Chains A and B, each alone.
Chain A
Amino acid sequence: GIQVEQSPPDLILQEGANSTLRCNFSDSVNNLQWFHQNPWGQLINLFYIPSGTKQNGRLSATTVATERYSLLYISSSQTTDSGVYFCAVDRAGNNRKLIWGLGTSLAVNP
């Protein structure tokens, strides 16, 4: 099955810093999504991005499907950005369940 690897596993930033999170996947995918899990465990939808680039405020994401990776950029980080960032991909098939990476744990210090 598809493997999803995220890097780095942990990241500590000072408020205001920028960061790039990476997601590699081992096979062609039809769907790729990024999520933020806040410290209370709630999941927040960030991007649906099987290819190309999208931006939403201080966050942007780029997926290069032909090279099997996606990047999530966080600019001018804030303490509220802390949590775990997950990448998940959609396997080919009828039911399209998402296969998840282990996440990048981000701590933004004031």
Chain B
Amino acid sequence: EPEVTQTPSHQVTQMGQEVILRCVPISNHLYFYWYRQILGQKVEFLVSFYNNEISEKSEIFDDQFSVERPDGSNFTLKIRSTKLEDSAMYFCASGWSLGYGYTFGSGTRLTVV
């Protein structure tokens, strides 16, 4: 069964550094998402991406965050200047059509020290 692949599985970074989280969605999917989960809390929506542009973003997704689909296969989430409170699991998801289910990657654990 096709999978969404996320790399790295775990990243440790110093506060103030830039990080890029990478995702390879399923190849024929058109809708892409990032979610995050702070330890012990609910999974939260960050951003949705379709047709090479952001279609919706949450309040969490401020100017420190950006997303890109640089080469038609990868989907990246960049955090420009990490803060301690950015420590969380970050999940990428993709879907081929709205409302038909989304496949999630296994996640990247980001630890900001």
Q: Residues of A at under 8 Å CB distance from B?
A: 30-31, 33, 35, 41-45, 48, 50, 86, 88, 90, 94-103
Contacts and interface: CB of A to CB of B under 8 A. Distances in A.
Contact of B45 (A31, A97, A102): A97
Contacts of A96: 31, 48, 95, 98-99
B102 A33 contact: yes
B56 A42 contact: no
A33 B100 CA distance: 10
Contacts of A101: 42
Interface of B: 31, 33, 35, 37, 42-45, 48, 50, 55-56, 89, 91, 93, 95, 98-107, 109
Contacts of B31: 96
Nearest to A103: B42
Nearest to B33: A97
B55 A35 contact: no
A86 B37 CA distance: 12
B101 A31 contact: yes
Interface majority SS (helix, strand, loop, mixed), chain B:
strand
B43 A45 contact: no
20 contacts: A31-B99, A31-B100, A41-B89, A41-B109, A44-B106, A45-B104, A48-B100, A88-B43, A94-B98, A95-B50, A95-B56, A96-B31, A96-B48, A96-B98, A96-B99, A97-B33, A98-B35, A98-B43, A98-B93, A100-B42
A50 B109 CA distance: 29
B86 to A, nearest CB: 16
Given A95-B56, A97-B33, A100-B43, A90 B99 contact: yes
A22 B100 CA distance: 21
A91 to B, nearest CB: 10
